[in-house]
Amino acid sequence: MAAGPFEILLATTGRGIQRALQTQERWSLDSHLTDRDVRSLAAAPETTVLAGTQGDGLFRSDDRGATWAPSGLEDTIVKSICFCAGDPSRVYAGTKPPHIFRSDDGGRSWRELTSFREVRGRSMWRQPAERPSTAYVQALACSPTDPDVAVAGMEAGAVVRTADGGRTWSNHLQGSCRDCHTLHFHPDGQHVYEGGGAVMRPGVALSADRGETWQRPAEGLDLKYGWAVTADPATADRVYISLSPGAMKAHSHGNAQAAIFRRDGSGPWQRLTGGLPQPLANMPYALVSDPARPGYLLAGLADGQLWETIDGGDTWTQHPVTLDAIHRTLIAL
């Protein structure tokens, strides 16, 4: 199998950003912002990439990750970033404590969406994994067809939605996972997918109406702690989710006991094998599809391994590049 449709891979490694560049069938690796604790990455459709840090605000690259410069929100913990594909000048950023900022110039300047501070129940939001145990905006997703529609997920406490560009926000969206890890909008602008933590039911939630209502289909799932989620760009009801038995396993080194599952339509979830190690010893923190190539999926594991499929997950081949690590975030350009 050829090594995917992407020319550039960018991953947070716990020691800045690692960049893999493909030129003439060969891959090279370099590292950036190694003196920063980078936690989030997002890219515009062209060349701009934003990186959120653990206390040093945002950094910006206008050359696909080759060079970086500060880009606002100084001295802020930025946990999540989302460009709006329908209007790349619109960007949302989520922070710790749980605030949301909006940019209308591609991430060069920012203003806080203060109405987010008024969401009911936010005084109960907590997360136990990072001291102090203040909640934060772990995930953001913006509709690719309407930049005013966005969904935000807390770690932990709620998933909420705006339909007016952040002037107002819903309360927690019933049916979604309150312990949100990732959110993904389908290119159709209607379907939204969530991977999250859960105790009683597996941590995956699906919406077919731009995030207004959610369902938690669980048939076929024998693991509960969800993380990465995406869908086939040509088929909104072909959904992929990575899961582990629990948080301790998922974030362990070499004992994640994880798997990737696929659901077609209203059918049960199916565990994907076809060449993937069983179980996966390291958590798949990233599942990356390609809008121009239905059937293709790239899975990024915590130890830096990359696996890819061109047939919707029936068969898998290891990617020729192995990164130092993937500390929660991988994007592809």
Q: What is the pLDDT of residues 197-248, one digit of tens each?
A: 987 899 999 999 999 999 999 999 999 999 999 999 999 999 999 999 999 9
Q: Which residue has the tokens 């939001």?
A: 125
- Which residue segments constitute the domains of the chain, with CATH numbers given? 8-332 (2.130.10.10)
One digit per residue, pLDDT tens: the chain, 333 residues? 445 689 999 999 999 999 999 988 799 999 999 999 999 999 997 789 999 999 999 999 999 999 999 999 999 999 999 999 989 899 999 999 999 999 999 999 999 999 999 999 998 898 877 878 899 999 999 999 999 999 999 998 999 999 999 999 999 999 999 999 999 999 999 999 999 998 789 999 999 999 999 999 999 999 999 999 999 999 999 999 999 999 999 999 999 999 999 999 999 999 999 999 999 999 999 999 999 999 999 999 999 999 999 999 999 999 999 999 999 999 999
pTM for this predicted structure: 0.95
> Of how many residues is the chain composed?
333
Q: What is the pLDDT of residue 3?
A: 56
What is the C-alpha end-to-end distance of the chain, expressed in Å? Answer: 19
Within a 10 A sphere around the Cβ of 8, how many other Cβ atoms? Answer: 16
Q: What is the pLDDT of residue 145?
A: 96
Tokens linked to 5 = 């449709």
Cis-peptide, bond into residue 268, ω within 30° of zero: no
Within a 10 A sphere around the Cβ of 102, how many other Cβ atoms? Answer: 20
Per-position DSSP letters for 255-269, written without gaps between them: ---BEEEEEETTS--
Tokens linked to 163 = 């339909």
Q: How far apart are the C-alpha atoms of 321 and 201, rounded to whole Å? A: 35
Tokens linked to 34 = 């190694």
Q: How far apart are the C-alpha atoms of 9 and 99, rounded to whole Å? A: 29
Decide: helix, strand or coil at residue 249.
helix
Looking from the CA of 296 toward its CB, the CA atoms found within 13 Å total: 15
Decide: helix, strand or coil at residue 70.
strand
Q: How far apart are the C-alpha atoms of 8 and 88, rounded to whole Å? A: 19
Element holding 142 (H helix, E strand):
strand 136-142
Q: How far apart are the C-alpha atoms of 175 and 132, rounded to whole Å? A: 28
